[in-house]
Amino acid sequence: MSLVLIALLPFIGAILPALMIRAGRNACALTAGSVTLTSLILLLSYAPAVFGGEVIQARFEWLPGLGLNANFFLDGLGFFFALLILGIGLLIIVYARFYLSKQDPMGLFYVYLLLFQGAMVGITLSDNILLLLIFWELTSLSSFLLIGYWKHLPEGRQGARMALMVTGSGGMAMIAGMLILGNIAGSYDLTVILQSGEAIKASPLYLPALLLILGGAFTKSAQFPFHFWLPHAMAAPTPVSAYLHSATMVKAGVFLMARMWPALAGTPEWFYIVATAGLVTMIVGAWISIFKDDLKGLLAFSTVSQLGLMTMLLGFGTPMAALAAVFHILNHATFKAALFMTAGIVDHEVGTRDAKRLGGLVTLMPITATIAMIAAASSAGLPLFNGFLSKEMMLYEASHTYYLGQEWILPVLATVGAVFSVAYSARYAIHVFLGKERHDYPSHPHDPPFGMWAPAGLLVVLVVAIGLLPQAIAGPLVQVASNAVTNGTAPVVDIKIWHGVNAALIMSMIALALGLLLLWRYGTFVALRQRFPRPEAKDIFDRLVDRTAAAATFVTDGLQNGSLQRYLATMVATMILVGAAGFFGGSHGAGTRATLPISPLGLIGWLLLVAACLTLVFFHHRRLLTLILVGVIGLIVSLGFFYFAAPDLALTQISVEVVTVILLLLALNFLPKQTPVAEFAPRRWRDAVLAGLAGLGVAGLTLAITTRDFFAGSISEFHLANSYPGGGGTNVVNVILVDFRGFDTYGEIIVLGIAALAIFALLESSLHGKASKRLANWVPETARAFDSHPLLLVVASRALLPFALLVGIFIFLRGHNEPGGGFIAGLVVSIALIIQYMASGFQWAHARVRVDYHAVIGLGVLVAGLTGVAAWIAERPFLTSDFTYVSLPVVGTFEVATAMAFDVGVFLTVVGAVMLALANLSRIGRLAETGGGSHPIASQH
């Protein structure tokens, strides 16, 4: 259970900073930090087991038949990434406390940060790819909130939208790829998929799955050509940038490639796609970084380059290269977080991030300068710092890896990337902190408070410590994570500072010399760069989005002109074409069941139904007549249900027809009584042809189904056999609704409640503003009766009310064993109440029925939901019902079932939904009658 808590605690604790901000900024930060620290402690409690080679699992079945299970597991790789996410996350929380100004809503910031943190930890611990996909999309949503945290900045809002669009699109591709992968492996559990590498690579669907999954990984980790979104995410506050660029968001794609390495790596496709993307990204990102004047822009593109380096190493497909990638992930997280923090400190204390306006800060900000230059030295790959070690590993692996059959391509290009990394790192350190002290800073530079530089200081301590004692400090962690990546095939490596003079050292020395030379002749290279075209990925992206939106608008305007008739015609025509394709594209055999002779009573009912439908077609423009005919058709259908021995359906149909006709009559009162007749003859013929073809298609389908033995061994036999022993009821229909398919019914009453609330929201606008004035001046089209509430109807309705309510209760109580149930009872009670409103008027009835129908709907859904939760408490699936038999003196033996509580929820929701619709239609009528004045009925809602 504690394994699940590691991922869930940030989500649970996200509410705390929003509450604790009222106690002050320190309390808010302390609460957020406590949540992360608790998750970190829980994670570290598993360290002995993980380093001992164990894999900790927590499995929770939900829908195992569909592969939807909440499974978590912790191996070396998951431990490694979760440690980075939570450890650096804790430092970011401390840093943000001092970075954010008093005007920034700190509570909201920590809420977003913890949500993002939980999503990232969830990715690393998921053992089910469908669960992983949920956390994956949550990172996109929560990072959108973090990047756009400063809502007043247009670049922040645009950066958030761009990040969401690019990573979200990649996520959609990844979903498809993961589903294909699960289909190949026969399971959606990662532990199964990672052991099915040979079968996956041998499948003809391997390449499509690989491309789709890499689409998600490349977009998330900003690989070329999707690299452009990451630098624009720097519009976020620096704590966000430091977290995203070092340990979280952008590392998610790298993590995914490392996690899927046993299942997907080791093929030429993997090598050329992944290694090429990483190599290009490494060089392009580093080159652009050199010429960025904004410090966060420089660091952002350097992150793109470093991510390319990791991707390239994973793309090599060898265990040693995978180990080097893991080691560099650790090193990059330490020095890049420190670099971003120092950039934020400079911006915070000096008032600018423009490298052209900086320089000489080493004497004014000695602590910050020391931290920044150590982190920059590690980024450049200088000896005695951790970045040097993993860079040497990268160069060594590149030096003996063939590309396109050539052994020199990768070493040369890898060295070029290293040259550029030296140049941008040296520029950050030299142009900002060294040189002469300036006198035109926007603010007087000075070191920040301890709480602001301490997190970065701790990180550079790790940079130096790992650089000096790599095996002692980082060796075991890198080894256990690499074993998880390579499925136990990672070589046992003793990480050392000195490996003698080899190709990697020579390449590193060349990179250092050429990188410093490039910085020395920086002006020359800037001028050279200006001579060549420099396409801006952001501009290309913006134009692509604009043109896509314009094309979508053109298509939408052409298809959606506001005509419901056109939409219905299009849908019906599509269904006809799909049905025809299925019919004519398959084989057909004669039915095996003989048709039954038609009875005179059935023939009369059918003729009445046809006559009513034909009358409706020819007189549909007369709305009142149309409504009456619809009611007649419904009643004939109800008789058909009785005829075929389906009393539950018949009762439901009759009740629905009565309620529907009454409510539609109320609505029709405010609408024109005539529908305009379509004058365009081709349109009428089109509608007639479509209606005829659709009717013939449905008739043919009905005949085909009823003349064939589809039902042998069907689910209906299961329901008939298990209704009484499994659900305790002899009314199979009701048992299905409240037990076997209770989840469906629960969703339906929620939809019903939402529909009633939507009616309320739509009609509420008619009681205010210009709409209420138009309603007050409304004149009915037809004359009204002098006596709106006849005395005979009033007296009869009041006498019938108790009997109607008694009938409703009777139908409710008998529903589990006889025709009836909560839905029908709700409709019967609603009809009883509607009659009171119709007979005595809305104002009279409402004054006596003081019920908030909004609350009735909510109570119904709540009662039904709590019935399902009670099943959870009893350790049974959601909405599983139970029953027993009780014997009492005089009363005798009777059944008590939990399904009755669920039926109560259905009953309340139906009554609330129907009466809320009635109440709002009546309020409009009352407003029209009173001339639009304010009245107590309106004020009560």
Domain count, the chain: 2
Q: How far apart are alpha carbons 906 and 295 in whole angstroms? A: 61
Q: How far apart are alpha carbons 6 and 229 in whole angstroms? A: 30
Of residues 878 and 477, the one with the higher pLDDT is 477
Of residues 914 and 674, the one with the higher pLDDT is 914
Q: Are 687 and 617 in contact (CB under 8 A)?
A: no
The residue among 617, 603, 659 whose CA lies nearest residue 634 is 659
pLDDT at site 101: 87
**Domain's final residue, options 492, 520, 548:** 520
Cα distances from 722 to residues 714, 727, 730, 821, 881, in angstroms, run 13, 7, 10, 19, 13
Residue 175, H or E segment: helix 154-185
Q: Which amino acid is at 484?
A: A
Q: How far apart are alpha carbons 340 and 423 in whole angstroms? A: 17
The residue among 497, 558, 487 whose CA lies nearest residue 261 is 487
Q: Which amino acid is at 711?
A: F
Of residues 544 and 278, the one with the higher pLDDT is 278
Cα distances from 755 to residues 634, 822, 857, 866, 909, in angstroms, run 22, 19, 11, 22, 11
Question: Residue 391 belongs to what domain range?
Answer: 292-520
Q: Coil, strand or helix: which one is 887?
A: strand
**Domain's final residue, options 495, 520, 545:** 520
pLDDT at site 751: 92
The single-letter DSSP state of residue 441 is: -
- b/e per residue 223-246 (b: at least 16 CB within 10 A): bbebbbbbbbbbbbbbbbbbbbbb
The residue among 322, 309, 220 whose CA lies nearest residue 262 is 322
**110, 113, 115, 120 alpha-carbon torsion, rounded to 10°:** -160
Q: Are 283 and 420 in contact (CB under 8 A)?
A: yes
pLDDT at site 427: 92
Average pLDDT over residues 498-503: 80
Residue 747's CB is within 10 A of a number of other CB atoms, namely 10
Q: Is the pLDDT of residue 338 over 90?
A: yes
User: Residue 611 pairs with which residues in a beta bridge?
Assistant: none
Average pLDDT over residues 421-444: 87
Residue 410 belongs to some domain of the structure: yes
The long-range contacts involving 17-24, CB below 8 angstroms and separated by at least 24 positions, are 17/106, 17/107, 17/109, 17/110, 17/111, 17/114, 18/107, 18/108, 18/110, 18/111, 19/107, 20/107, 21/105, 21/106, 21/107
Helix extents (H) in 740-891: 742-764, 769-776, 791-814, 822-840, 842-848, 853-873
pLDDT at site 780: 63
Mean pLDDT highest for which of 174-178, 759-763, 804-808?
174-178
Least confident residue range of 484-498, 648-662, 665-679, 723-737: 665-679
The angle at the Cα of 33, spanning 255 to 164, to the nearest 5 degrees, equals 45
Q: What one-character-per-residue DSSP string does 7-62 give?
A: HHHHHHHTHHHHHHGGG-HHHHHHHHHHHHHHHHHHHHTTHHHHHTT--EEE--EE
Residue 335 pLDDT grade (very low, low, confident, very high; cuts 50, 70, 90): very high
Token pair for 914: 């129907």
pLDDT at site 929: 55
Cα distances from 133 to residues 70, 211, 523, 938, in angstroms, run 12, 16, 47, 48
Mean pLDDT highest for which of 205-214, 504-513, 684-693, 931-940?
205-214
Residue 308 belongs to some domain of the structure: yes
Q: Is the pLDDT of residue 712 over 60?
A: no
386: left (phi over 0), alpha (psi -120 to 50) or beta: alpha
Residue 564 belongs to some domain of the structure: no
Q: Which amino acid is at 598?
A: I
**512, 513, 518, 519 alpha-carbon torsion, rounded to 10°:** 70
Q: Is the pLDDT of residue 887 over 60?
A: yes
Q: Is the pLDDT of residue 890 over 80?
A: no
Residue 888, H or E segment: strand 883-888
pLDDT at site 377: 94
782: left (phi over 0), alpha (psi -120 to 50) or beta: beta
User: Checking DSSP bridges between strand 61-63 and strand 883-888, what pairing results, if any?
Assistant: unpaired
Please provide the average confidence, as pLDDT, over all residues in the chain. 86
Q: Is the pLDDT of residue 788 over 80?
A: no
The single-letter DSSP state of residue 736 is: I
Interhelix angle for 769-776 vs 899-929, to 10°?
Answer: 60
pLDDT at site 776: 64
pLDDT at site 473: 92
Token pair for 675: 């529908």
Average pLDDT over residues 509-537: 82
Average pLDDT over residues 814-822: 84
Of residues 542 and 772, the one with the higher pLDDT is 542
**Domain's final residue, options 497, 520, 543:** 520
Of residues 931 and 279, the one with the higher pLDDT is 279
914: left (phi over 0), alpha (psi -120 to 50) or beta: alpha
Residue 328 pLDDT grade (very low, low, confident, very high; cuts 50, 70, 90): very high
Kindly state the percentage of the chain with pLDDT values over 90: 37
User: Residue 887 pairs with which residues in a beta bridge?
Assistant: 893
Residue 928 pLDDT grade (very low, low, confident, very high; cuts 50, 70, 90): low
3-state helix/strand/coil string of 57-101: EECCEEEHHHCEECCEEECHHHHHHHHHHHHHHHHHHHHHHHHCC
Judge residue 601's burial from the number of C-beta atoms within 10 Å of its C-beta, 0-12 exposed, 13-18 middle, 19 or more buried: exposed
Residue 260 belongs to some domain of the structure: no
Average pLDDT over residues 232-241: 86
The single-letter DSSP state of residue 889 is: T
Mean pLDDT highest for which of 361-370, 612-621, 798-807?
361-370
Residue 884 pLDDT grade (very low, low, confident, very high; cuts 50, 70, 90): confident
Helix extents (H) in 233-365: 238-246, 249-259, 261-264, 268-270, 276-290, 295-316, 319-350
Average pLDDT over residues 545-554: 89
Would you say the C-alpha torsion 188, 189, 195, 197 has a positive or negative sign?
A: positive
Residue 909 belongs to some domain of the structure: yes
Q: How far apart are alpha carbons 701 and 23 in whole angstroms? A: 68
pLDDT at site 90: 95
pLDDT at site 936: 37
First to last CA, the chain: 46
pLDDT tens readout for residues 31-59: 999 999 999 999 999 999 999 989 998 88
Residue 927 pLDDT grade (very low, low, confident, very high; cuts 50, 70, 90): low
CA atoms within 13 A on the CB side of 695: 9
Q: How far apart are alpha carbons 653 and 843 in whole angstroms? A: 30
Q: Is the pLDDT of residue 933 over 50?
A: no
Q: Is the pLDDT of residue 84 over 80?
A: yes
Of residues 739 and 113, the one with the higher pLDDT is 113
Q: How far apart are alpha carbons 563 and 676 in whole angstroms? A: 14
Average pLDDT over residues 553-578: 86
